[in-house]
Structure 1
């Protein structure tokens, strides 16, 4: 019987044959695909063995730790100048924003009868002194009692007091700069009438600038008055100064301590009222220099570094940045000697055993450790 006749009589044979061909074809495809996957897996690391990571053996360096503090600049001194007497403004001698020497005239008030009052006070003192001296002579002859002498002396002292007041009142008619500085604002103009206690000007001392910020309570113990700190202003200016003040009591709301950095500003070039980032020395610390790319986060979002222990198990250590500059980042929190994972840290988990391979720059160190193991 021919094959075509058998298929015609038994059509199920054709169906079975086609199915077998499809199964064999799919099986052959799976084998090829599996071989490709195995090849790819070998490149990353065999699933049968530990994952391979690159490490760098490092020892901590002793460095000066710096604490970053955000703050704001302010003049060394700011005062509100008030009038010591009453009167009408008759002249304004100072211009806002201009530097003034101590004693320079800011404005003048109308003298009115101040000079006449001074002359009257001087005459009263002269009269009282003459009377007192005359009674002293009479007392020696027994014509004046001690009580009369005391009364005359009291009148002389009262006259002297009034003379001092008259002199001061005359001086107060001229408002002067209290120290070397800059007239920031003037509150009055010519023709204004001022009374004793009225603010007439705002005066600042900008011969030095104070950068003020707050530090966390955990860092306050490391910052010392007199240490040299630095700051970068929002204007781009980089400055250096000395820590002049640290509060001894923390703010009740924020639990932070106020710190002030004093920076010389003899030419008035540094502006006040701008934001600044301070770097304050916080004592010595043992730190590792790393690339910022090695920093990673744990499940709780804590920043840290992955290392391997002596048994090639992965460990995670939270770290804090001690110094950051163009040369790199120094972090604290790692053991003094650490084998830091420099490649592959994103593919391994804490507690996992890995195959560690030293970075090429650590070849000499790796050979040294191998030699030590052989001696043991």
Structure 2
């Protein structure tokens, strides 16, 4: 009898053994299906998780910043004056040469006085004579011995003599050319012994304290400025100095539509020079802001920043 027949005979005699085997097989099959469903669910869940976007979170804190407008300008003297001779004469002395600083009222050039002192002495003598004549006429007039017409003539003669004296003194004063204000001499046009005519320019006197910085502001920025705007000026040597707004134009330049502005810089030692390029920073009040890298920003189809 073969093994198969033996097994069939056994199942016929003891059917409960077949039932037990079938039960074990059924339980195993159901268990394997449950494991497979769990694996599929785990795989699906894993696939779902990988689709979620990754994000990075960074905390930012606002900090105080100072906003400013940057301009380019040029230094200029506060004022410039051509020193001219007020009378004809020969240059007798040059007391200060070009490039040197002078104080207000300081003598710069002396012209030959020639006979001006003698003219003053003569004018003084004439005045003295006219005073005596007028006093005598006045005394006679008070006694009724002299008419009012002669008294008036004597008074006119005295006034004329005093005027001539003052004119002689003024001519002597004008023979010495003095600085009308403190500054630096520039452009010397005379030499010792040369003859100058009335109105001839001898020196240029420039005032470098304060020093003026001229610049131009665009029409979009001019409304933000006033005379109290804080200013810092950077010179060509890298040094920085504080300035103050002294002038804001009310009308723009027709060619550029920019508004001229002027800034004053204190220059007591006249160390800073005119005609030098500068960088100007017009400073505004501090405000809170957060620095964000442009890589985090984008534009939508409507151009909105996000």
TM-score (norm 1): 0.60
Deviations along 1:131-179, one digit per CA (max 9) or x if unpaired, are 2222111111112333333232222222222212111111111112222
Provide the aligned C-alpha RMSD in A.
Answer: 3.1
Distance 2:56 2:255 in 1: 47
**Structure 1: which 5+ residue stretches go unaligned?**
1-47, 295-341, 357-376
Pick from 156, 174, 180 the counterpart of residue 154 of structure 1.
156
Pick from 111, 114, 124 the counterpart of residue 113 of structure 2.
111
- Contact 1:73–1:210 (Cα < 8 Å) also in 2: yes
- Contact 1:213–1:259 (Cα < 8 Å) also in 2: yes
**Residue 20 of structure 1: aligned partner:** none
Pick from 161, 164, 169 the counterpart of residue 166 of structure 2.
164
Trace 1:11-26 onto structure 2 (pairs within 5 A). none
**Structure 2: which 5+ residue stretches go unaligned?**
1-50
Pick from 219, 222, 225 the counterpart of residue 223 of structure 1.
225
Higher strand content, 1 or 2: 1
- Contact 1:132–1:156 (Cα < 8 Å) also in 2: yes
**Residue 76 of structure 2: aligned partner:** 74
**Residue 279 of structure 2: aligned partner:** 277
Whose Rg is larger?
A: 2
Change beyond 3 A, Cα 1:239–1:285: closer
Change beyond 3 A, Cα 1:58–1:84: farther
Pick from 350, 359, 367 the counterpart of residue 300 of structure 2.
350
Secondary structure, in 3 states, of the residue corresponding to 2:79? strand
Instruction: Find out whether 1:84 has 2:34 as its counterpart.
Output: no
Trace 1:245-260 onto structure 2 (pairs within 5 A). 245-260=247-262
How far the C-alpha of 1:195 sits from its partner, in A, is: 1.3
Secondary structure, in 3 states, of the residue corresponding to 2:220? helix
Trace 1:38-49 onto structure 2 (pairs within 5 A). none
Secondary structure, in 3 states, of the residue corresponding to 1:106? strand
How far the C-alpha of 1:101 sits from its partner, in A, is: 2.1
Instruction: Find out whether 1:129 has 2:79 as its counterpart.
Output: no
Q: Which piece of structure 1 moves more, 213-222 or 54-63? A: 54-63
Distance 2:251 2:153 in 1: 55
Distance 2:72 2:137 in 1: 73
- Contact 2:82–2:201 (Cα < 8 Å) also in 1: yes
How far the C-alpha of 1:202 sits from its partner, in A, is: 0.9
Instruction: Find out whether 1:174 has 2:176 as its counterpart.
Output: yes
Pick from 226, 243, 257 the counterpart of residue 241 of structure 1.
243
Instruction: Find out whether 1:139 has 2:89 as its counterpart.
Output: no
**Residue 200 of structure 1: aligned partner:** 202
Instruction: Find out whether 1:214 has 2:216 as its counterpart.
Output: yes
How far the C-alpha of 1:237 sits from its partner, in A, is: 1.9
**Residue 27 of structure 1: aligned partner:** none
Distance 2:78 2:154 in 1: 50
Aligned residues: 255
Distance 1:94 1:216 in 2: 44
Change beyond 3 A, Cα 1:148–1:275: same
How far the C-alpha of 1:54 sits from its partner, in A, is: 7.5
Distance 1:251 1:56 in 2: 48
How far the C-alpha of 1:279 sits from its partner, in A, is: 1.4
Distance 1:164 1:289 in 2: 75
Change beyond 3 A, Cα 1:54–1:100: farther
Deviations along 1:315-348, one digit per CA (max 9) or x if unpaired, are xxxxxxxxxxxxxxxxxxxxxxxxxxx34x5xx6
TM-score (norm 2): 0.72
Distance 1:113 1:53 in 2: 100
